[in-house]
Amino acid sequence: MPALNIQDFSFTYKGSDEVSLNNITLPIMKNAITSLIGPSGCGKSTLLRSMNRIHDLYQGNIYNGKIDFFDIKTEQIINILEIKTENEFIKLRQKVGMIFQKPTPFPMSIFDNIAYGLKISGIKNKSELQDKVEQALVSSALFDEVKDRLHKPATSLSSGQQQRLCIARAIAVEPDVLLFDEPTSSLDPISTGAIEELIVELKNDISIAIVTHNMQQASRISDYTAFMHQGTLIEYDKTENIFLNPQEQKTENYITGRFD
């Protein structure tokens, strides 16, 4: 059962003549890591950002098709492209979280950062907040490093720690799906390794989609891989198949570095 089922999805940016995404059909499988790979400009970030409808912050974009989201709690399937009310948007984003390319710590303390999503969803009880924050920090392997300075500003952390902070912040609200947009591209190799480990652990509870331009990363951590080119999904399969036995010529060219 896919956590997100993308069907015939097309997307055009506001004011653009060209279609950015062309009839994409793709499942994001539950409790698995699906990576989106492809050359720059292929639309992988555009696709990812459609999954939590963050595009809608900027008006005028056009989309067609369907993206079905399976809500674990209510056991209902919702087409997220039909969401219109602000309430529904908020609910969607609490279920489908996002981590960005650059770490984005909020201008507040470490504790307040993690607690932010919880507070705005109405949790006020101090001990409940404390528990959930601690849990999120433990799950993102950050707790030991920050437990003595929870009330220091989040900007005092290193970039690797900041990115783990953003992950902790996102998982604190217990989402069903997490979207990662090139999460390690601005980090050093050691921090990258730590985050990759973290993502692999998270998949036990959360379904994950990750955009990466690093093929090794995709082959290391993901269960499924989707290769895109110029807005079209060229091939989607289990990761080992994509890398060891690609069906499409374009896929093979990209993986072997022959792409032009």
Considering only CA atoms, which of 73, 70, 61, 69 is closest in space to residue 12?
Answer: 61
Piece of the chain touching other proteins by CB under 8 A; list 37-45, 99-107, 224-232, 242-250:
99-107
The residue (of 155 and 241) whose beta carbon lies closer to other proteins is 155
94 touches other proteins (CB under 8 A): yes
Residues in the interface with other proteins (CB under 8 A) total: 29
Q: Which residues contact 143 (CB under 8 A, 6 or more apart)?
A: 134, 137
Considering only CA atoms, which of 248, 244, 245, 204 is closest in space to residue 227?
Answer: 248
The CA distance from 66 to 111, in Å, is 37
Which single residue is written with the structure tokens 């984005």? 104
The residue (of 166 and 255) whose beta carbon lies closer to other proteins is 166
The residue (of 120 and 138) whose beta carbon lies closer to other proteins is 120
The CA distance from 48 to 45, in Å, is 5
The CA distance from 54 to 39, in Å, is 22
The residue (of 63 and 89) whose beta carbon lies closer to other proteins is 89
Q: Which residues make beta-bridge pairs with 79?
A: 68
183 touches other proteins (CB under 8 A): no
Site for other proteins in 47-86 (CB under 8 A): 52, 54, 57, 59, 86
As a dihedral over the C-alpha atoms of residue 88, residue 24, residue 40, residue 159, rounded to 10 degrees, the angle is 30
From candidates 13, 63, 106, 143, binder to other proteins by CB under 8 A: 106
The residue (of 184 and 225) whose beta carbon lies closer to other proteins is 184
Report the interface residues with other proteins, using CB under 8 A: 52, 54, 57, 59, 86-87, 89-94, 97-98, 100-102, 104, 106-108, 116-117, 120-121, 166, 169-170, 173
